[in-house]
Amino acid sequence: MSKTFLRCRECKKEYDSTFKYICDECFGPLDVHYNFPPITKDTFTNREQTYWRYFELLPIIDKSNIVSISAGMTPLVRAEKLGKEIGLNNLYIKNDSVNPTFSFKDRPAGVAISKAKEFGLSSVGCASTGNLAAATAAHAAKGNFPCYIFAPSDIEHAKITQALSYGANYIAVDGT
C-alpha cells in the first residue's frame, strides 16, 4: 500500500499519489491522505537533527529523493517578559531564524523540492516576495533544479536578492 494517496474532496474518488490537483470525474480538489506505518516514540530517536527525522510523516516515498539543506530542529527560546505581559508562565518561541535561509519556510520548501524530485520534474518555482522565494531557491540549488521566482515587477530587489543569490530566475509579474 502506498504511503500517500489522493482523494477528491467532492466525490471521494481516489487516485494514486501523482502530480495531479483536480478530479477527472467532477473537477473537485484533491486532498492528500496518508497510510501511516506503525509509529512509536522510539521511531524518531537517534536520527538526524532535521525535520527529515520524521520521514514517515512526510509525503516523500523514497528517501533517495530527499533534498536537504539541514533545516529544522531549531531551538525554543523562553520568552519570559512577553509571557508575563500576556499572562503565560511558560511561553516559548520557536527561533527559526537559525534555519539555513533564516525562515520557517525551509521546511515546506524542502518537502516541495523533494517531491518535485520524486515526481521527476525538470524545474521548480514559486510566487513569493521574500522568505519562500529564498527557501525554494536554496533547495532548488541543492537539488540541481532550475528555479523560477514569480514576483511583482515593482518589487524592491532587496526582497528577492537572497533567492537570486542561489541562482533563481526572477520573472516579473504585473500586479500582485
Summarize pLDDT for 1-17 with one digit per residue, the tens.
Answer: 468 899 999 999 999 98
pLDDT at 97 over 50: yes
pLDDT of residue 1: 44
C-alpha cell at 12: 471521494
Q: What is the pLDDT of residues 16-56, one digit of tens each?
A: 988 899 999 999 999 999 988 889 989 999 999 999 999 99
**Cα–Cα dist 137/101, whole Å:** 10
pLDDT at 175 over 90: no
Query: Hey, what CATH topology would domain 47-176 get?
Result: Rossmann fold (3.40.50)
Where do the domains of the chain lie?
A: 1-35, 47-176
**Amino acid found at 126:** C
C-alpha cell at 89: 508562565
Residue 173: C-alpha distances to residues 79, 97, 154, 157, 158 (Å): 40, 29, 9, 13, 17
Give the residue among 136, 139, 115 at the shortest CA–CA distance from 126.
136
Q: What is the mean pLDDT of the chain?
A: 95
pLDDT at 133 over 70: yes
Radius of gyration of the chain, Cα coordinates, nearest whole angstrom: 19
